[in-house]
Amino acid sequence: MSVVEFAQVSHAFGEREVLRDITLRLAEHRIGIVGANGSGKSTLARMINGLVTPDVGRVTVDGLDVGRRGREVRRRVGFVFTNPDNQIVMPTVREDVAFTLRGRGLSAAEISTRTDAALDRFGLAGHAEHPSHRLSGGQKQLLALAAVLVAEPAIVVADEPTTLLDARNGRRIGALLAGLPQQVIVVTHQLELLPAFDRVIVIDEGRVAADATPAVALAAYDALLA
């Protein structure tokens, strides 16, 4: 597995401090991050691939400083947003998946082969020429996953990937993420996704409030909400 490290990380948006003195080493296969709205959990996740850089401290991925070597890091870290419309950029499903592979030194044949394999893997082969933004919500999130995973990242970070989905599609996306061979870091309010994970981190008011096995960490989270 890859290793993500936060060393005394703090960050503020304007005068609002959202993370305070976070030190973590993330090396497990499946890691969940939970917390109330505004707790700082999404900011923490976005630091892993450089969408946000810390004001204080350092974030590294396999020893690469995210702030200084962001491009290399982003090739190792795939990011799945809450709303797939925020990352679908091309007009058709096939074009959107293929777009991820541009600029990676691959031949047209290699891009085509890998794109077809990704579409087949996520049940989208029959929608290859379909307008991307006319897919259902569940299909859009599958497309977002396909477009991330076609690049074969070492780490997949997903920020509340099931929030906008109905229960059936939420379970499907959750199961897909949990079954990936890559290291998976999921920010979620859907606590039912987490019991089989290796570790759960609870963020409260910008700090780590609990960090343990799912049963222990989720019990601590319930206590915070009580």
- What does each of the 226 residues of the chain score in pLDDT, given as a tens digit? 899 999 999 999 998 999 999 999 999 999 999 999 999 999 999 999 999 999 999 999 999 999 999 999 999 999 999 999 999 999 999 999 999 999 888 999 999 999 999 999 999 999 999 999 999 999 999 999 999 999 999 999 999 998 888 888 888 889 989 999 999 999 999 999 999 999 999 999 999 999 999 999 999 999 998 7
Residue 24 parent element (H or E): strand 16-26
Question: What's the rounded Cα separation, in Å, for the pair 221 and 224?
Answer: 5
Non-local (6+) Cβ contacts of 202 within 8 A are 34, 35, 208, 209, 210, 211, 217, 220, 221, 224
63: phi then psi, degrees, rounded to nearest 5: 85, -10
**For the chain, domain boundaries:** 4-225
What pLDDT does 189 receive? 92
- Partners of 212 in the beta sheet? 200
Domain 4-225 top-level CATH class: alpha beta
Q: Give the number of other Cβ atoms within 10 Å of residue 4's Cβ.
A: 25
Question: What's the rounded Cα separation, in Å, for the pair 40 and 22?
Answer: 11
What pLDDT does 164 receive? 86
- Helix, strand and coil percent figures for the chain, each rounded to 5: 35, 25, 35
Amino acid at 142: L
What pLDDT does 226 receive? 79
Give the CA diameter of the chain: 56
Q: What is the pTM of this model?
A: 0.94
What pLDDT does 206 receive? 96
